[in-house]
Structures are given as structure tokens and as C-alpha cells.
Amino acid sequence: MNFAVLFGGNSYEHEISIVSAIVLKKVFRGEMSFIFCDRDRNFYLISQDKMNAKTFSSLSYKREKMLFLRQGGFFEKGFFKEKKLEIDVCINLIHGRDGEDGKIASLMEFFGLRYIGPRLEASVLSYNKELTKLYAKKVGVKTLPYYVLRKKDKEYKEPKYPCILKALRLGSSIGLAVAKNKEEFEYARDLAFEFDDEILVEDFIQGVKEYNLAACKIKDEMIFSIIEEPKKNELLDFEQKYLSFSSSTGAKEAKISDELKNKLKEACVRIYDPVFKGALIRCDFFVIDNEVYLNEINPNPGSLANYLFDDFSIILQRLGNSVKNEKHIDINYSFLHSINGQKSKL
């Protein structure tokens, strides 16, 4: 099976997506092509030997073959005819806007490409942190209390301290901060508003236990990764999250009880099935007084959370074989034919 990894996009997480793709190239055992979506949303076919940071930081990717999408796949222009890129399954590895907000999912469905990644509904629910909380409540998974600040509001509700502020539609810990007093709150608020017009505010719970669990569903079987307890300082910041996974050293399984493992897996299944079918996701949980709370859903986790799986390449192959696009509707114009047979004309 030949995979094509889509990465980049017009997003604050553009560079993180590049790192994810480079890591995936190193760890995956199998056929894999790389399609880069630059900041102007042009597509380029990047050869494996060019999959390094310099190719993108120097803009030399622009010398690579440009691709375009049309019905049935990605194509490159030739002197006499267009050449279709041979792809069995695409992998949506664009983080944040474009990749996780539903644009790529819509393109894949519209142009008929099979793909691993969140479908449109799943993208919408996981991209907006408030919608994520509402979805979790609907499926019976607890979340922390919150309220939303909006940039257009003239007055802002002041929280109890300490609190944590998160841009509503942004991941990768960008624009995230803990405020312990009014001065820090105002600074963190203004910083987050640089990235989004809405901010999610939650109480910051000191010393809370955090656990990450990745999963996908292949046919009728849920596949789980190990459960990781990420190392963090006061909070898991940008550098801790992304410089750590780029090292590809793997993760250690958390030492927790079977009871807690089962609770985390049950919450993950409630989140995943059936909305996220077709994707490999990572759920980040809090555990407070032995109760599980959803922190966030990562529908396109960094480097596909490969470091949490012992047999990642096999799982990806199996998932690729199982993904399906939405049902094609047969349109035969029978209604219009019936109208043509009548005396009245439209």
C-alpha cells in the first residue's frame, strides 16, 4: 500500500506539521510519498531525500514538482498530458487550521480520495474547544468547568486564580498560559487574543494527573496504544510536547491500576466511536480523585502518536486498508425525466 502524507497548511501549526511528517518518514516501514501544502495552499511532491527542515526553511521546496487536485487524486502537469500520482490512501497530517478544521476532509471526500484522518463532523467537534466539551458531555465523558472570553466583549469576567487560558481554536499549546493574578491574566488574555477571537478559561488544578491514550478502530476492533503519563513542568508547553516527540525515542507506559486503565479506555471509546472512525486520534485526559476528565482531542496527533505504539507501521497499514469514504449517491435524473414527460415545462 502506498500512503501519501499531507502536511503543512496555512496554520499557526504549519512548522509542527513539517516536523511530524519528517518523524513519520523515519519511523514508518512501507511505501510513503509526501505532499506539502505551503502557506499559499499550493501542493508540492517532496522526495524522501528532501524531507528535512532545510528544504522548507530555505523555501527550496518550490523547486519540487507542483501538484494539483482534481477528481480521483493528485496530478502533476507534463508536456503532453497530466500524470496521476499513484496513491492508495492519504494521511491527513496537517495540524490546526486546514487539516483539523474540516477543509482537508472536505477536499478528500469531494475529490474521492481515501484518507486516514477525521471526517468533517469529527473535525468540527474537535477543532473548537467549546464544541469538544459539549460533545464530551453528550457522550458521557466529564470535562472541567469553563467559560469563554470573546474579543468583541467590552467587559471581561475575571476568574478565580490560578486559571489557564487557551485559544479556542488552536492546539500545540500555542497561546496557552497559566495566570496566578490579575496582571498575569490580562497579559495571557491579550496574548491568546493574538491567535483567536475567543478564549477558553478553566481553573488550573495544581499537580493534576495527565494521561495520553491514542486509538483507532479497524473494522469492529478498537486498537489502543499504551497509556502515557507525559512529563511536564507546571503545564505541558509547546517545547515539551513537540521537541520530545520529534526525538522519536518512544514513550513509557504509565504505572496505573487496571481499573484506571479501563476507565481511560472506556472514555476514549465513547469519544471515538463512531464519529472519529477513519482517524487515528489521541485523547488527553485529566484524572482527579480517580475520575476521568477529557482535556482535549487530537484528531491529527503529532507524528500520528507513533511513539505510543509498538507495532505502529502494521496498525497504519491495517487502518489504511479499512478506511472508506462517504457513500456515493447514484443520480439518474428520473425526477427530471418525469417532468419532461409532462406538458408543463420548467
Note the pLDDT tens digit of each residue in 254-263: 999 999 999 9
| Res. 233 pLDDT band, cuts 50 70 90 | low
| Res. 346 pLDDT band, cuts 50 70 90 | low
**3-state SS, residue 27:** helix
For residues 274-282, average pLDDT:
96
For residues 227-236, average pLDDT:
74
Average pLDDT of the chain is 91
With beta carbons less than 8 A apart as the criterion, state whether 226 and 305 touch. Answer: no
For residues 110-117, average pLDDT:
96
The pLDDT of residue 337 is 84
The pLDDT of residue 74 is 97
The pLDDT of residue 170 is 83
Neighbour tally for 1: CB within 10 Å: 13
The pLDDT of residue 344 is 58
Q: Is residue 107 scored above 90 in pLDDT?
A: yes
Q: How far is CA 160 from CA 147, 198, 214, in A?
A: 12, 19, 33
With beta carbons less than 8 A apart as the criterion, state whether 18 and 56 touch. Answer: yes
The pLDDT of residue 251 is 83
CA distance 205 to 203: 6
With beta carbons less than 8 A apart as the criterion, state whether 153 and 209 touch. Answer: no
Q: Is residue 243 scored above 70 in pLDDT?
A: no
| Res. 248 pLDDT band, cuts 50 70 90 | very low
